[in-house]
Amino acid sequence: MSRFSAPIAEAIWDMKYRLKTAEGNALDASVEDTWKRIAGALAAVEKDPAAWEPKFYSALEDFRFLPAGRIIAGAGTDRTVTLFNCFVMGTIPDSMGGIFEMLREAALTMQQGGGIGYDFSTIRPKGAPVQGVAADASGPLSFMDVWDAMCRTIMSAGSRRGAMMATMRCDHPDVESFITAKSDSARLRMFNLSVLVTDDFMAAVKADKPWDLVFGGTVYKTLRARDLWDRIMQSTYDFAEPGVIFIDRINTANNLNYCEEIAATNPCGEQPLPPYGACLLGSINLAKLVTAPFEDGARLDEAALDELVRTAVRMMDNVVDASRFPLEQQAREAQSKRRIGLGVTGLADALLMVGQRYGSEEAARQTDRWLHAIARAAYLASADLAAEKGAFPLFDAVPYLASGTMAQMDDDVRAAIAEKGIRNALLTSIAPTGTISLYAGNVSSGIEPVFAYSYTRKVLQKDGSKTEEEVVDYAVQMWREKFGDRELPDHFVNAQTLAPLDHVRMQAAAQKWVDSSISKTINCPADITFEAFKDVYMAAWDQGCKGCTTYRPNAVTGSVLSVTEDAKNEAASADGLQTEGDVVYMTEPLDRPAELAGATYKLKWPDSEHAIYITINDIEVSGHRRPFEIFINSKNMEHFSWTVALTRMISAVFRRGGDVSFVVEELKAVFDPRGGAWMEGRYIPSILAAIGGVIEQHMVETGFIGGEGLGLKSDPKAQVAVVGERRGKSCSSCGSFEMRMVEGCMTCANCGFSKCG
């Protein structure tokens, strides 16, 4: 009997977590072998491994404790990978040499599979003088472009691309440009962006006071705080970024505020970390701990929860000793503070099972009680570990117990820490769990509501055919098994119908007992008014959240997935064409007409003796002009082979029709390890990226796309195909249109791919 409750769960395990040889041969014969591998690796650092290995296995069994994916995939293997998920890199020096040393460190970290965060507030603003070179600074965003290009080329461990978070203080002179940077959908695609918002700024917003933008003691600009706040809100409303991080609140609450200062987070925001800070993640599956689900006596087994949390804390503490680290500074930081991030998943499913409506006041109180129980168990377990193995090296009882988080902790927990010390400086965090939640049987992700009760997934069979399978939420599946086709009760709600302020209420309830932060996406309807949207962020501030991330369907990031039956394929017309919106799809490649309209562009790459000439010819179909072929020529014979290849490949793509704007995005993403060049005030990472820019310019001028970085004027993947259906961008891993925003990550419901890594 398989341990997996759904085929998608087994597929995720096989694709992402199952140990295989380089040739693809399975070494983990079953998921039980995976659990044994993890349990053995984490027990190996104990004085008595034989005593702890079965206890660790029991915690993993039946998907009750879910270590983060890097631990599941990497523990007990000989791979040179880190088991830590989250890194914040060192403080970026305001010098060219220091900046590129930080770039090197970032590349090494992502190569081993770590997601990273950076604060770019330390780089002088655009136009500031650079002493000794008679030039003006290009500003932090220009260097973010370099980071972005580097990240695109680093295929991190386990075939997962790196993910990055960039932060900037709300008083940095370039913050206005930072806020709107991702209005260009082709720019900074490897970054999540967040503004570091201070207490003083929020006070100025509420009091409608002026706000100075300052660097190095020089005031560059003064504006109304409310105007800057509205610019942040407008960009987030339009483009889903930047997020907001309440940085002073984070530092005040930090258990370690006596020995570190935080200015950045990991890519999904749940781990605020100091320079070179590192954290590992794991989640308690609350959905597996409910007894008598859907019955009058349904409840969470708090005794089982306490025992499971204590075991999980020990396992995660052992990961600190079992893991490799990309950089020595990261190893020292992890060893000196022994941070862990224990969180939950399946919260919404657990609430459904005990009869609570996610987002209600009673559900918020229940969440508070459960998270309080987890925090108590985790801190007491860590105190016991300190008595057995020693406190973390930088532990100092007086300032530690005086921190914002510890001041509200129960007296008996504080007394235990005062007596024994504590093994782990921080213990709790709510991480994104999209993929491991699928692996655990499609339980609701993290503290998010159920996204959809069910959806259809296409499965590729060995013979090349495709079948469809229904993927059902874990709690809904349990309801069906108990009650058959009986209608779902009224307290069943999902992300499609939940009011945004209900999301905030749940995040605030969980935050009270989480010493780090929370990865949470507040889904907003497309038709929410701008004023109501701003109210969501102000409510997050007023209710004590450490940050806020929203997702509203928009033209740049696509639409939130609505789950309905697939649209029927439109029949091709006699001329081999079919249309969706303004876009022409060619079901058969068209013959080349005798004459085509086009344009030729001259591209002069710096330090190159010969220019490159690019000719793009267009075809007019159904009243719409679209690219049909391209020719790339240069007198430089070193370019001959690749320009011919590029000409043929791009022309072949153009002649197939449809959404060919991806060609621009792919070319603009190419990074030359020998270095790019500055052209017209912008860093271009390679010649190929420059060619992509020329093609984009042509598409804009002919009306094929609406503007730089905007993609197609009418994106077919965002059109309504049937009543009630909206389709988002396709998954870059499997190609399905099942991408949705979950906990700050664009996640594929079809294959489990996550953009955040």
Q: Which residues are catalytic?
A: 266, 268, 270
Structure tokens at 529: 């008014």
Q: Which residues touch 62 (CB under 8 Å, ≥6 apart)?
A: 3, 288
Cα 603 to chain center, whole Å? 36
146: left (phi over 0), alpha (psi -120 to 50) or beta: alpha
3-state secondary structure of 46: coil
Q: How far apart are CA 37 and CA 17, in angstroms?
A: 11
Provide, for the chain, the percentages of residues in helix, strand and coil under a 3-state DSSP scheme, each rounded to the nearest 5.
40, 20, 40
3-state secondary structure of 671: coil
Q: How far apart are CA 446 and CA 450, in angstroms?
A: 10
Cα 608 to chain center, whole Å? 39
The dihedral sign for the CA sequence 591, 593, 597, 603: positive
Do residues 757 and 21 make contact, with C-beta atoms less than 8 angstroms apart?
Answer: no
Structure tokens at 586: 């060619």
501-532: burial string, b at 16+ Cβ within 10 Å, e else: ebbbbbbbbbbebbbbbbbbbbbbeeebeeee
699-735: burial string, b at 16+ Cβ within 10 Å, e else: bbebebbeebbbbbbebbbbbebeeebbbbbbbebee
Residue 484: is it exposed, middle or buried by C-beta count within 10 angstroms (0-12/13-18/19+)? exposed
Q: How far are the Cα atoms of 261, 376, 378, 407, 427 from residue 398, in angstroms, in the given order?
A: 18, 19, 20, 11, 19
Residue showing tokens 């450490």: 546
Give yes or no for a cis peptide into 242 (omega within 30° of 0): yes
- DSSP, res 354: T
Do residues 344 and 367 make contact, with C-beta atoms less than 8 angstroms apart?
Answer: no
Identity of the amino acid at 753: F
List helix spans (H) across 323-410: 328-337, 347-353, 361-389, 397-401, 404-407
Do residues 252 and 312 make contact, with C-beta atoms less than 8 angstroms apart?
Answer: no
Q: How far apart are CA 552 and CA 503, in angstroms?
A: 14
Q: How far are the Cα atoms of 574, 693, 694, 753 from residue 603, in angstroms, in the given order?
A: 40, 10, 8, 37
Q: How far apart are CA 674 and CA 672, in angstroms?
A: 5
3-state secondary structure of 551: strand
Q: How far apart are CA 420 and CA 238, in angstroms?
A: 51
Identity of the amino acid at 152: R
Nearest 5°: phi and psi at 543? -95, 5
Helices and strands (H and E) in the chain: how many: 24, 32
484: left (phi over 0), alpha (psi -120 to 50) or beta: left
Q: How far are the Cα atoms of 14, 35, 292, 366, 628 from residue 58, in angstroms, in the given order?
A: 21, 9, 21, 27, 60
Do residues 719 and 729 make contact, with C-beta atoms less than 8 angstroms apart?
Answer: no
Residue 29: is it exposed, middle or buried by C-beta count within 10 angstroms (0-12/13-18/19+)? exposed
